[in-house]
Amino acid sequence: MLLSIQDLKVAFRMGERGSKTLAQAVRGVSFDIPENSTVALVGESGSGKSVTAMSVLNLLPDNARREGRILYQGRDLLQATLPELQALRGREIACVFQDPMSSLNPVFTVGQQLAEPLIKHLGMGGRQAIERAEALLNEVGIPEPKRRLKSYPHEMSGGQQQRVMIAMALSCEPKLLIADEPTTALDVTIQRQILELLAKLKERHRMSVLFISHDLGVVGEISDHVVVMRHGIVREQAAVARIFSAPEDAYTRALLACRPSLTDTPARLTVIDEHIASESGDGGARKTAKPKDPTAPVVLEVRSLAKSFWLRDGLFGKREFRAVRDVNFQLRKGHTLGVVGESGSGKTTMGLTLLRLHEPTGGEVIFDGKNLLTLTDRERQHMRRRIQIVFQNPYASLNPRFTIGQTLVEPMSIHGIGGSTAEREARAHALLAKVGLDSTAFGKYPHEFSGGQRQRVAIARCLTLDPEVLVLDEAVSALDVSVQAQVLNLLRDLQDELGLSYVFISHDLAVVRFISDEVLVMKDGEVVEQASAAQILAAPQQDYTKRLLGAVPRGWSPDRVAATVA
User: What residue spans define the domains of the chain?
Assistant: 1-87+211-248, 299-550
Phi, psi of 274 (to 5 degrees): -65, -40
Report the chain (566 residues): mean pLDDT per 10 consecutive residues: 94 74 89 94 87 92 92 93 89 84 86 90 89 89 86 80 86 89 76 84 89 85 92 93 91 85 79 75 55 87 93 79 92 94 86 90 91 87 87 82 94 88 93 88 87 85 91 82 84 90 89 91 92 88 89 70 40
**Residue 64 and residue 11 in contact, taking contact as beta carbons nearer than 8 Å:** yes
Angle separating helix axes 451-463 and 404-414, nearest 10 degrees: 20
* Residue 102: count of CB within 10 angstroms of its CB: 9
Match domain 299-550 to its CATH number in 3.90.1150.10, 3.90.180.10, 3.40.50.300, 3.30.1660.40: 3.40.50.300
> H or E segment at 497?
helix 481-498
Q: How far apart are CA 125 and CA 148, in angstroms?
A: 20
Q: For residues 495 and 292, is the Cβ–Cβ distance under 8 A?
A: no
Strand partners, 362: 306
Q: List CB contacts of 253: < 8 A, sequence separation 6 or more.
A: 247, 275, 279, 281
| Model confidence pLDDT, tens digit, residues 284-330 | 445 666 778 888 999 999 999 999 988 777 777 888 889 999 999 99
Asked whether the domain spanning 299-550 has the same topology as the one spanning 1-87+211-248, the reply is yes
Which option is the CATH number for 1-87+211-248: 3.40.50.300, 2.30.40.10, 3.30.1330.10, 1.20.120.420? 3.40.50.300
**105-137 pLDDT, tens per residue?**
889 999 999 999 899 888 889 889 999 999 988
Residue 291, judged by CB atoms within 10 A of its CB (0-12, 13-18, 19+), counts as exposed
> Could you tell me which residues come within 8 angstroms of residue 495 by beta carbon, excluding any fewer than 6 positions away?
334, 336, 501, 502
What is the Cα–Cα distance from 393 to 276, expressed in whole angstroms? 29
Q: What is the pLDDT of residue 19?
A: 65
Q: What is the rounded CA–CA span in Å between residue 95 and residue 104?
A: 12
Q: What is the per-residue pLDDT for 562?
A: 39
**Rg, Å, the chain Cα set:** 25
Residue-by-residue DSSP string for 291-358: PP-TTPPEEEEEEEEEEEEEEEETTTEEEEEEEEEEEEEEEETT-EEEEE--TTSSHHHHHHHHTTSS
